[in-house]
Amino acid sequence: MTLAPEVLWAQRDNLVYLTIQLTDIHEPTIKLDNDKLHFKGKGEHEQRWYEVELEFHDQVDPELSKQHLTARNLHFIIYKKGKMGYWPRLLKNKNKPHFLKTDFAKWRDEDDEDDEAGPEGQDAFGGMDFSSIMNSAGGPAFGGGAPAGEEEDSEDEEMPELEEAPGAKP
């Protein structure tokens, strides 16, 4: 009996990231066509057979696509063919299989595509430096030091000894 491995996926405008979560893969058979991916291989500690076939929502380009087998899993970068854009789902079939999961580490929404292309080091708010705004606001709550008119105390004050509560045992 073959088992279905866990499959993670995420997408961009022009490609799909796909990861077959299976350790110690041996004897893999991988076939990527214009519209589907077929994987079969032994994996995990027990070296049991795993198999999965995914019929994609739209056409892909097997020639441009890449795969990378590691000791922990099998990664794919599958390039979309023809009309670019986000797919509403990975598979042609609307019923999502139990083994298919979203790869949140690689996931980006369509709206986030622009953020990714921005200059390096710039955040989603157009590169604003919030630390300088907070420091100029003043007050310890904003990291701006002591409130106006008060000196900052750089030395810790000595704390008084705690009194024992009545009836407390030493």
Query: 6-86: which CATH number, 2.60.40.1180, 2.60.40.790, 2.60.40.10, 3.20.20.330?
Result: 2.60.40.790
- CA dist 146 to 84, 136, 142, Å? 55, 12, 10
Please compute, for residue 124, the number of CA atoms within 13 A of its CA located in the half-sphere on the CB side.
3
The whole-number mean pLDDT for each consecutive block of 10 residues of the chain, a chain of 170 residues, reads 95 96 97 97 96 96 97 97 90 94 89 51 43 50 51 61 68
pTM of the model: 0.65
pLDDT at 125: 42
Residue type, 145: G
* CA 9/CA 20 separation, integer angstroms: 9
